[in-house]
């Protein structure tokens, strides 16, 4: 549902005018959210199933789950609503007869992964409105292997990052924290271990939102601090949030640091990958790696856990050559 412009009145209330069944209706409430809810209910009364536009269907889908969807998920859904499937977004869903052709058209404009995520939302909205799009073929998503620090590089990275403005952020992610988990850390959350139980995510309005929960149940965890420097930095940090910079700024600074020191150029998330790969290199069990990394899916974890170090690869080559005497 497209929400009309909502203005704040001198009284402090919020107001909007919306067209319902050809009539202009005035809506006033104490907050923008309440105005949106009233408009949603008014429009809902005038709908005929199958004649709802895809855009309105997405809004209905979000509204009906607003109490369970995370702010970042809602933000992603809104981005799909604004930017994807524009040729049918404002058409009644029941009028579209060939969803495969719609998907084919969209595939020329976005990556397979973006298309897969966007279509997942659209399909869910269609099914909720009793519209079965049939079997839709999507392009194959080719997963690119992410960069990570080799074990030897991790030691060098710890030296290079010393004294950097965002050293705490980088070292926390090197302990396997997601960027959202790192941004939520307070001074009281770190001593000889890191207590992970909350996250900072971008909300629908792009402003950071603190959630008193992690991505999933297994993400709530305690991670032992294996780099003493992190505990030292936190002990002298002021009370409150340890890192307040935006992820974009942190990633830009991290890439610059890596390039300037001739080390693998990585992101915050790839520091997390480096931690999981280090556990494999140190022969730490998969079960323990899952616990420290906060993974719910062992298959996802294994894709990262078994990154091979250069040293292991060279040793394997040497063993093969030695077998035939080369």
Q: Per-10-residue mean pLDDT for the chain, 326 residues long?
A: 78 84 80 81 61 90 84 90 96 94 96 96 92 94 81 94 98 97 98 96 83 90 96 97 96 96 94 92 90 90 72 74 70
For residues 172 and 131, state if they share a domain.
Answer: no
Is residue 78 in some structural domain?
A: yes
Locus of tokens 């207590």 = 195
| Residue 57 structural domain | 48-142
Supply the pLDDT for residue 203: 78
Return d(Cα 63, Cα 217) in angstroms, integer: 24
Do 165 and 114 share a domain, yes or no?
no
Shared-domain flag, residues 302 and 194 = yes
CATH number, domain of 97, equals 1.10.150.130
Torsion of CA 245, 246, 252, 256, to 10 degrees: 10
CB 301 within 8 A of CB 290: yes
Q: In whole angstroms, what is the distance from residue 165 CA to residue 243 CA?
A: 10
Q: What is the pLDDT of residue 90?
A: 94
Same domain? For 223 and 208 the reply is yes
CATH number at residue 205: 1.10.443.10
Q: How many domains is the chain partitioned into structurally? A: 3
Per-residue pLDDT at 88: 96
What's the pLDDT score for residue 37? 78
DSSP string, 171-235: HHHTTT--HHHHHT-BGGGBSSEEEE--EEEE-TTS-EEEESS-SSGGG-EEEE---HHHHHHHH
The answer to the question of residue 224 being in a domain is yes
pLDDT at 48: 59
DSSP class of residue 31 equals S
Task: Supply 177's token pair.
Answer: 């924290």
**Domain annotation covers residue 63:** yes
> Do 218 and 305 share a domain, yes or no?
yes
**CA nearest neighbour of 172 among 256, 230, 218, 214:** 230
pTM for this model (two decimals): 0.70
Residue ranges of the alpha helices (H) in the chain? 32-45, 54-63, 71-83, 99-107, 112-128, 151-160, 167-173, 179-183, 228-235, 247-260, 268-281, 286-293, 298-305, 310-323
Q: Is residue 247 part of a domain?
A: yes
Say if 304 falls within a structural domain. yes
- According to the model, what pLDDT value does residue 113 have? 92
Angular region, 178: left φ>0, alpha ψ -120 to 50, beta rest: beta
Sort strands 199-202 and 193-196 into parallel, antiparallel or unpaired. unpaired
Query: Does one domain contain both 112 and 173?
Result: no
**Statement to judge: residues 248 and 185 lie in one domain:** yes
Let me know whether 37 and 58 are in one domain.
Answer: no
Length of the chain: 326
């Amino acid at each position: 549902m497209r929400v009309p412009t909502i203005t704040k009145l001198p009284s402090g209330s919020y107001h909007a005018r919306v067209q319902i069944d050809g009539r202009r209706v005035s809506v006033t409430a104490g907050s923008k959210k309440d105005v949106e809810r009233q408009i949603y209910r008014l429009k809902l009364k005038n709908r005929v199933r199958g004649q709802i536009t895809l855009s309105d269907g997405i809004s209905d889908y979000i509204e009906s789950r607003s109490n369970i969807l995370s702010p970042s998920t809602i933000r992603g859904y809104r981005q799909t609503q604004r930017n994807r499937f524009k040729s049918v977004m404002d058409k009644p869903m029941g009028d579209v007869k060939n969803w495969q052709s719609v998907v084919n058209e969209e595939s020329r404009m976005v990556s397979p992964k973006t298309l897969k995520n966007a279509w997942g939302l659209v399909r869910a909205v269609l099914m909720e409105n009793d519209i079965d799009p049939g079997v839709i073929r999507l392009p194959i998503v080719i997963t690119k292997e992410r960069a990570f620090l080799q074990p030897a590089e991790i030691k060098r990275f710890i030296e290079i990052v010393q004294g950097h403005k965002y050293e705490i952020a980088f070292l926390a992610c090197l302990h396997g924290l997601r960027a959202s988990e790192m941004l939520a850390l307070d001074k009281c959350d770190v001593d000889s271990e890191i207590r992970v139980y909350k996250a900072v995510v971008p909300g629908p309005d792009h402003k950071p939102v603190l959630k008193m929960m992690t991505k999933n149940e297994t993400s709530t965890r305690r991670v032992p601090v294996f780099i003493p420097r992190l505990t030292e930095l936190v002990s002298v940090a002021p009370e409150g949030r340890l890192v307040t910079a935006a992820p974009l700024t942190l990633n830009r600074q991290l890439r610059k640091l890596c390039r300037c020191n001739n080390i693998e150029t990585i992101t915050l998330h790839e520091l997390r990958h480096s931690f999981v790969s280090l556990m494999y290199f140190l022969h730490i069990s998969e079960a323990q790696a899952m616990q420290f990394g906060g993974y719910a899916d062992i298959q996802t974890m294994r894709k990262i856990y078994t990154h091979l170090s250069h040293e292991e690869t060279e040793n394997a080559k040497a063993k093969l050559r030695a077998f035939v005497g080369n």
